[in-house]
A and B are shown apart, each in its own frame.
Chain A
Amino acid sequence: MWWKILLFLVMSAVIVTGFITEAPQKQIGEASRIFYFHIPQAWLCVVAFAMSAFYSARFLKNRKLIDDDYALDTARLGFIFCLLATITGSIFAKVTWGAFWNWDPRQTSIFILLLIYGAFFALRSAVEDEDRRATLSAVYSIFAFVTVPFLIFVVPRMVTSLHPTDSVIDENLKFTMGVQVRSIFFSSLAAFSVLYFWMLSLTMRLNRLKRKQMTGTD
């Protein structure tokens, strides 16, 4: 119980200090405050995807349908974080670069992640048999996850090296991040992560109960 209160306090503190302290990035100014919230969301979008691939692999190994439920649970959460990251990112893009969407490499990456999540859900709705749905979507989820390193590390780097004007934050912030900014940012990152795992454990518990009920009434 205590950690839930702590989470509440940390989250509140992050929100308040995120707005009352000096903006983290001088050139961009006020808009750069979104960095405290946007990056943790993008981070969780990838973490949730990794968790989905993990449960998918575990499903393929042990053939327990509950693992498939878990893979779906974390994919759903990941999709929400992905949407949030996309929305906050494009608001930021509108303010700083003048357009909601301009195919900055990072935007491309997050857009592809959204598409992968969408394809994962589309595949699940296209298979009727429960076991087969679990197998096929597990394979797809792992296969898609293999491409993530390309999305996150390789493409942005390669394309920025071709169009070096685009992204300002990542390069500069690494050097300019002071103690204050750093502590707010990592508190936010931790708080968001705990929030994600909390939400995940709730949906996982719900699914365990559902499975139990199903086998109970059979």
Chain B
Amino acid sequence: MPASNAGLTNKVLAVYVKDLRLELRSRYGLNAIFMFGISSLTVISFSVGQAALSTKVLSALYWIVVFFSAMSAMAQVFVREEESGTAMALRLTTEPNAVYLGKLFFNLSLLVVLVAVITPLFFIFTDAPAEGIVNFLLVMILGVLDLCAATTLIAAIIARASVKGALFAVLSFPILLPVLIVLVSATDKVWAGSSLGEVSKLLQFLLAYVVIMVTASLMLFKFVWED
């Protein structure tokens, strides 16, 4: 049904633009994510700045910074709706899929901004190899997609829980661990000079994970949202 799809696109866009606008006015998520990312990068730089680290260690450090920075702000997009009492209005006026997809794209934008700032700094602070940068970017983009795909539903869950605290990281970590292992391994390989062909299995894994997580989220989100 193309008509209803076009309708959904507009609704998704409305939610996404609204969240972007709120974010630009409060800058809560951006501030949190940057403070977290830059603090942890600084710690890394101070502690290991001069040491020549293997690409294996560097890739682990990189994804640890990205993962925990993301954790600091990605639940906000749902928590904000619940805490300001606007979730009810949203629930009454639009379909769950529009909310989920709008928030998914918002989180994606937040994370893209994060890696766009963190990655150059990471290359400056550490001696991560600059060759193979195109392959690295591909791995990075897939990683960002994976992080968003898995955490947006969890953000919706914790926004509905009575105690939030560290719950977001607690719930996300086990689901993302396989992805993080593969991401670290793929980043290590492209930094060590592997071609895309050599890491294609890993890339397929990352892509399959995005597809499965988004599909599962679309099926499950309405239960979380409308309960």
Contacts and interface: CB of A to CB of B under 8 A. Distances in A.
Among A126, A129, A154, A159, which residue has the most Cβ atoms of chain B within 10 A?
A126
A112 B227 contact: no
Contacts of B202: 158
A42 B160 CA distance: 33
Contact of B217 (A138, A143, A150): A143
Given A122-B170, A147-B175, A162-B185, A135 B201 contact: no
B28 interface: no
A136 interface: yes
Interface string A90-130: 00000000000000000010001001101100110111110
A132 B223 CA distance: 10
Given A115-B173, A136-B160, A161 B153 contact: no
Contacts of A161: 201
A122 B165 CA distance: 11
Interface stretch (B5-13, B122-130, B208-216): B208-216
A126 B163 contact: yes
Contacts of B157: 123, 136, 139-140
A158 B202 CA distance: 8
B174 A115 contact: yes
Nearest to B212: A146
A60 B223 CA distance: 7
Interface in A145-191: 146-147, 150-151, 154-155, 158-159, 161-162
A131 B224 CA distance: 11
B14 interface: no
Contacts of A139: 153, 157, 220, 223-224
A142 B216 contact: yes
A75 to B, nearest CB: 13
B223 A135 contact: yes
B177 interface: yes
B205 A154 contact: yes
A129 B227 CA distance: 11
Contact of B175 (A118, A126, A144): A144
Contacts of A150: 178, 205, 209
A138 B223 contact: yes
Given A143-B217, A146-B216, A126 B173 contact: no
A155 B181 contact: yes
Nearest to A114: B174
A112 B174 contact: yes
Contacts of A108: 177, 181
A143 B153 contact: yes
A59 to B, nearest CB: 10
Contacts of B227: 131-132, 135-136
B26 interface: no
B182 interface: yes
B195 to A, nearest CB: 15
Contact of B178 (A122, A132, A135, A151): A151
Given A112-B174, A116-B174, A154-B205, A146 B181 contact: no
A147 to B, nearest CB: 6
Interface string B190-227: 00000000000110010001001100110010011001
Contacts of A119: 170-171, 173-174
23 contacts: A108-B177, A112-B174, A112-B178, A118-B174, A119-B173, A122-B167, A122-B171, A123-B167, A126-B162, A126-B163, A126-B165, A126-B167, A136-B161, A136-B224, A139-B153, A143-B216, A146-B216, A147-B178, A150-B209, A154-B178, A154-B205, A155-B178, A158-B201
Interface of A: 60, 108, 112, 115-116, 118-119, 122-123, 125-129, 131-132, 135-136, 138-140, 142-144, 146-147, 150-151, 154-155, 158-159, 161-162
Given A132-B160, A143-B217, A146-B216, 10 more contacts: A116-B174, A118-B170, A123-B170, A132-B227, A136-B227, A139-B157, A142-B216, A144-B174, A150-B209, A155-B182
